[in-house]
Amino acid sequence: MKSKVRERIMITLDQLNDIEIDILNRRHIERYAMIRQWCYGKVLDISSGCGYGTNLIGRNPDVEYIKGVDINKEAINWAKKYFENHKCQFEQNSIEKFNEIYNVLVCIETVEHLKNPKIINDLCERCNIQTIFISYPSKKTTHYNKFHYNDFNDSDIIKIFSNYSLKDSIDLHREVRILKLIRNV
């Protein structure tokens, strides 16, 4: 039996849109799956959204406990329903008000959404964070994403965190930068 080989991919606009959304979702989840290998101790996932990333990080045996925090009540309710367990908890709260001690901060695609990104540094100081994993779009996005207030490069991010030094950086798919920052001794 001969197999049919097509020269062209024949899909509809709806199929194309579904594939694009699937790719974007997988890439976002991939960021959490990638950094979880370096997380340890008590981890704070700020702007955790619906909780899937928090849950992924909590699967690392080096993570004792992880808390996902988001300002959106609906997102937190979803996270609690589908992703909460003995090691992975969720709380509705704001970056400005949260105040508990943690070892690691995870901040995936949040900083560009903030009018005042320094509030993340203030959070790190209040919570005695030792290690930060922060990601941001590596290209200009403010001109087409109404939810983005800032465009960054590595130097901009490093300046936000005055008591931290850059330990590592990852350029993921040439669309997102992930920085690992360590508290200065």
pLDDT in tens, 34-82: 999 999 999 999 999 999 999 999 999 999 999 999 999 999 999 999 9
Q: Tell me the C-alpha distance between 120 and 116, whole Å.
A: 9
3 pLDDT band, cuts 50/70/90, is low
Can you give the pTM of this predicted structure?
Answer: 0.91
CATH number of 39-183: 3.40.50.150
Give the residue carrying structure tokens 């920085």: 179
How is the chain split into domains, by residue range? Answer: 39-183
Q: Residue 43 is encoded by which pair of tokens? A: 């981890």
Nearest CA among 133, 48, 50 for reference residue 98: 48
DSSP 8-state class, residue 129: -
> Residues with Cβ < 8 Å from 15, sequence gap 6 or more?
none
